[in-house]
Amino acid sequence: MGSILDGKLVARALRADVRRRVDARREPHGTPGLAAVLVGDDPASRVYVNNKEKACAEVGIRSVGRRLPTETTTEALLDVVGELNEAADVHGILVQLPLPAHVDAEAVVQKIVPSKDVDGLTMVNQGRLLAGSPGLRPCTPLGIMHLLAETGAVLAGLEAVVLGRSQLVGKPVAMLLLEQHATVTLCHSRTRDLASTVRGADIVVAAVGRPELVRGEWIKDGAIVIDVGINRTAEGKLIGDVHFDEAARRASWITPVPGGVGPMTVAMLLANTVSAAEMAS
Ligand code: NAD
């Protein structure tokens, strides 16, 4: 039976470290600030933003919530982001996705000045990641790398298989794994034989959004399994992209859902905000 990689526990230690960094800055430089832009009344987005703001408060980061009505235009949103780009007391900006369908989400995200892009989604920060130069990295992939570090595994030379090639998770985590000298295979919906590819993996990162797609018999004995997926069952239960009970029998380490990658994402957002503030002064 594999050991549980407890994201809640690791995130707690990370948040304590962020709190120390925030405290150390306050006197000379002021309190770091994070602006969360939320458009419309999508309940899930509202919960995510509320959680992020609560997490900010716990570590002493000031949050500047911007709640805007669903009918907000792209132009109006670009103006809001423009103002936040200029605000000296705002060090990080996050635009909660998805935005309403009539909004040009890409234009809004790309408007964020790269030095405040705490989600690491601007072209500049994506390019920096690809180039291996310093920059703000997307939070979920950073959280995944942090969890992998907790296992003590040396990633150099290991076979890492990433399922999902999204801009937010799959692609950037593949780059970060490569940076640590893993041999990376990036799979997606057109990959022919997912099961046999995963069978060769020392590290599996599943970021697909398909409940329990990855079965126990796909997992190599001793593999580390990171389940990014968040899927809600008909009964309202949250489950991952990996069949946890089956995979846990073979894995050396495995993340639960919930309580694995999720808490790490929020902790990394806080860490990125302090990093952005530190880089600004
Ligand atoms: P996405 O929908 O943008 O991308 C999904 C990817 O999975 C695509 O690249 C697609 O090609 C691939 N895919 C789809 N079906 C597949 C299949 N049958 N076999 C192989 N690949 C397949 O999703 P995303 O934003 O990367 O999120 C993925 C999952 O992770 C979702 O469940 C999401 O809720 C979750 N998520 C969790 C966190 C967290 O903090 N825990 C953060 C971001 C996303």
What residues does each domain of the chain span? 29-113, 139-262
Predicted confidence band at 157 (pLDDT cuts at 50, 70, 90)?
very high
Catalytic annotation on 221? no
Q: What is the pLDDT of residues 168-218, one digit of tens each?
A: 999 999 999 999 999 999 999 999 999 999 999 999 999 999 999 999 999
Query: Is residue 96 annotated as a catalytic residue, yes or no?
Result: yes
- Is the fold of 29-113 the same as that of 139-262? yes
Q: Active site residue: 117, 119, 202, 241, which one?
A: 119
Dihedral angle of Cα 157, 159, 164, 165, to the nearest 10 degrees:
30
Q: Give the closest residue to 273 by CA, choosing from 115, 112, 110.
A: 115
Q: Is the CB of 228 under 6 A from ligand 1?
A: yes
Is the Cβ atom of 229 under 6 angstroms away from ligand 1? yes
Whether 46 and 6 have beta carbons less than 8 Å apart is answered as no
Question: What does the pLDDT read at residue 147?
Answer: 98
Ligand 1 near 144 CB (within 6 A): no
pLDDT(145) > 90 = yes
pLDDT in tens, 96-107: 999 999 999 999
| E strand or H helix that includes residue 68 | strand 62-68
pLDDT surpassing 90 at residue 65: no
Q: How many C-beta neighbours within 10 Å does residue 179 have?
A: 14
Per-residue pLDDT band for 1 (boundaries 50, 70, 90) equals confident
CA geometry: angle at 246 spanning 182 and 252, to 5°?
40
pTM above 0.85?
A: yes
What's residue 198's pLDDT? 98
* CATH class of this structure's domain 29-113: alpha beta
Homologous superfamily of 139-262 in CATH?
NAD(P)-binding Rossmann-like Domain (3.40.50.720)
Our answer on whether the CB atom of 125 is closer than 6 Å to any ligand 1 atom is no
Nearest 5°: the CA angle 90, 146, 152 is 155
Among 139, 93, 140, which residue's Cα sits nearest to residue 114?
Answer: 93
3-class secondary structure, 183: strand
pLDDT tens for residues 232-278?
Answer: 999 999 999 999 999 999 999 999 999 999 999 999 999 999 999 99
Contact 77, 103 (CB under 8 A): yes
Is 247's C-beta closer than 6 angstroms to any atom of ligand 1? no
Arithmetic mean of pLDDT, 222-238: 96
DSSP SS3 for 213: coil
d(CA 106, CA 126): 13
CA of 55 to the centre of ligand 1 (A): 24
pLDDT tier for residue 38 given thresholds of 50, 70 and 90: very high
Atom 6 in ligand 1: residue holding the nearest Cα: 164
